[in-house]
Amino acid sequence: MPEKFIPPHGGYENLLSFRKARIVYDGTVRSCERFLDKRDRTREQMVQAARSGKQNIIEGSQASGTSKEIEIKLMNVARASLEELLEDYRDFLRVRALPLWGKNSREARFVRGLGNHKDSSYETYKTYKTYKTYIETRPPAVVANILICLIHQTNYLLDQQLRQLEKAFLQEGGLRERMTRARLSERSKLGH
């Protein structure tokens, strides 16, 4: 059996970064519906930044089989989109003179704990459902801070993923190198 040079790829739904990005997207759509006027350009931009974060993880995951370079680039685009969204939420709080939770505040620790809740099934606590009650019922400051916490979590996961992708590229190379190794392996089996 010849060595395969296109590795398994896709599977983005198993990536925790994707799951968190999808929660950020769903929460952003809902919070923008609740707190921003339909005519406010910021509303559309925030939803688009959240969508871009999520969609670029999907696209990067699909491209991973044939181009580590494109995968890394798209994960960076996802990270940049979420950073833009993070600043939008900070602006939302700042211009309304609403408090920004500290990283180690009781509230921020509570939100981080929701994502690690062991009493729920894996499928439930990795979805919007975990945060829905809070995002759809709490006041603007609380909702914005919850989403800020979730964006930080997603960005952390993407940073870890990018480090792993860089390490894997350095160890394994890209498609051309895998193709060359596969071809040389096949030739050696044929006695050439």
**Cβ(117)–Cβ(125) below 8 Å:** yes
pLDDT of residue 167: 87
Q: Is the pLDDT assigned to residue 191 strictly greater than 90?
A: no
What total of structural domains would you count in the chain? 1
Please check whether residue 7 lies inside any domain of the structure. Answer: no
pLDDT digits (tens, 9 = 90+) for 106-116: 999 999 998 77
Tell me the longest C-alpha to C-alpha distance in the chain: 74
Within-domain flag for 148: yes
Residue 25 has a pLDDT of 98
Q: What's the whole-number mean pLDDT along residues 46-52?
A: 98
Q: Are 18 and 54 in contact (CB under 8 A)?
A: yes
DSSP annotation of 120 reads S
Number of H helices, E strands in the chain: 8, 0
| Residues 119-163 pLDDT 10s | 445 555 468 999 999 999 999 999 999 999 999 999 999 999 999
pTM of the model: 0.83
Indicate the pLDDT class of residue 2, thresholds 50, 70 and 90.
very low
Could you give the CA distance from residue 75 to residue 120 in angstroms, rounded to a whole number?
Answer: 29
Please indicate whether residue 167 or residue 183 has the higher confidence score (pLDDT): 167
Structural domain containing residue 40: 12-190
Residue 62 has pLDDT above 50, yes or no: yes
Q: Is residue 176 part of a domain?
A: yes
Cβ atoms of 54 and 24 within 8 Å: the answer is: yes
pLDDT value at residue 120: 47
Is 5 inside a domain boundary?
A: no
Higher local confidence (pLDDT), 185 or 162: 162
Q: Look over the chain and give the mean of its residue pLDDT values, rounded to a whole number.
A: 86
Long-range contacts: 26-34, Cβ < 8 Å, 24+?
26/128, 27/128, 27/131, 27/135, 27/143, 27/146, 27/147, 27/150, 28/85, 28/147, 30/135, 30/136, 31/135, 31/140, 31/143, 31/144, 31/147, 34/136, 34/140, 34/143
Residue 100 pLDDT greater than 60, yes or no: yes
Helix axes 68-95, 41-63, angle to 10 degrees: 160
pLDDT of residue 1: 41
What's the pLDDT score for residue 16?
93
